[in-house]
Amino acid sequence: MLAVTILGNNSALPAFDRHPTAQVVTMEDQIFLVDCGEGTQMQMAKYKIRRSKINYIFISHLHGDHYFGLIGLLTSMGLLGRTQDLHLHAPAPLEEIIGMQLKVADIHLPYPLHFHALDGSNVIIRETRFEVSCFPVFHRIECWGFIFREVRPFRRVNPEKARQNEVPSSFFDRLKWGESYLRKDGVLVENQSVTEPANKARSYAYTADTLFDPRIADSVRGVDILYHETTYLKDLEVQAGKRFHSTTTQAATIAREAGVQRLLIGHFSSKYEKLHSFETEAREIFLNTELALEGVTYKV
């Protein structure tokens, strides 16, 4: 399972009961929190996201609508008695801000908070069953996108054929990763004779806040779902550029150029009460586009 649930889809100024940016990505048995605007912990309660299941948090950049809810969430986790490790990947200055806020409140979190400064490296987490990488996007201040990828074996074992060929089940895990089996009698059981291609590993990319820039298409090439911001409709392209944001047309162009399966658009300016034009405009260029709506889960 790889899915993203939207907790906030608005740009900086909360409006029309839309909230600042936050998403949770569910992959295998992990929940990743991606950005954490003010009120995210309340949105998590509303949409029944279990805070205790979060072990990784990613903050794209230090504009408030992407992180002002973080300190409240961290301290609430402490009040709830969390003890397990929490990993926070974010631009470097956030560590000092959090440290200062805890210090003036005389609060010592009862769990280990591991701060990892984003510094341009590509893969930032590599676990057995998933990996997370980051890539630069182009905003007024340092800003990062994230890609969440399942890590899966290339091959799926056909247990009947494997048994017929006398491959022990203890070797099945190695079969999944493409190895062939050398029997004690000297016969080589070719991997492809007892396995089939596995389903493709799934992936989700989040581009945070960014100018239109074709390099983003390179960064997110071939993902299953791309989230790209669309702060403005296409007629405000000049304004979007000045404010380091993107339009519907620009987001859809990135999706098309990157060859993704599906495009989610969000980070809508509070100047727009109705959102249907966002979908209409983006679909002119990339048909498989959907609005990122709060409380909705989009599955790969």
Residues that bind its own copies (CB under 8 A): 12-15, 19-20, 38-39, 41-42, 45, 62-65, 68-69, 71-72, 75-76, 79-80, 91, 93-94, 96-97, 100-101, 104-106, 140-141
Structure tokens at 269: 């300016």
Evaluated on CA atoms 247, 250, 255, 258, the torsion sign reads: negative
Looking at the Cβ atoms of 106 and 160, the one nearer to its own copies is 106
| Residue 189 CB, nearest approach to its own copies (Å) | 58
Looking at the Cβ atoms of 56 and 244, the one nearer to its own copies is 244
| Residue 215 CB, nearest approach to its own copies (Å) | 22
Residue 221: Cβ within 10 Å count: 13
Q: Are 227 and 235 in contact (CB under 8 A)?
A: no
Structure tokens at 189: 């059981």
Looking at the Cβ atoms of 98 and 258, the one nearer to its own copies is 98
| Residue 132 CB, nearest approach to its own copies (Å) | 23
Looking at the Cβ atoms of 42 and 236, the one nearer to its own copies is 42
Which regions of 65-172 does DSSP assign to beta strands (E)?
Answer: 86-90, 113-117, 123-126, 130-136, 144-150, 155-157
Kindly list the distances between the CA atom of residue 138 and the CA atoms of 6, 144, 167, 173, in Å, as whole numbers in the listed order: 22, 8, 52, 41
The strand pairing partners of 133, in sequence order, are 123, 147
Q: What is the per-residue burial (b if ≥16 Cβ within 10 Å, else e) of 268-289?
A: bbeebeebeebeebbeebbeeb
| Residue 219 CB, nearest approach to its own copies (Å) | 24
Which residues contact residue 262 at a Cβ distance below 8 angstroms, ignoring those fewer than 6 apart?
224, 225, 226, 288, 289, 290, 298
| Residue 19 CB, nearest approach to its own copies (Å) | 8
Looking at the Cβ atoms of 160 and 273, the one nearer to its own copies is 273
Q: Are 6 and 265 in contact (CB under 8 A)?
A: no
Residue 224 among the catalytic residues = no
Residue 106: Cβ within 10 Å count: 6
User: What does the longest C-alpha to C-alpha distance in the chain come to?
Assistant: 74
> What phi and psi, each to the nearest 5 degrees, are found at residue 291?
-70, 140
Looking at the Cβ atoms of 116 and 256, the one nearer to its own copies is 116
Given the residues 17, 29, 65, 224, select the one marked as catalytic.
65
| Residue 16 CB, nearest approach to its own copies (Å) | 9
Catalytic residues: 65
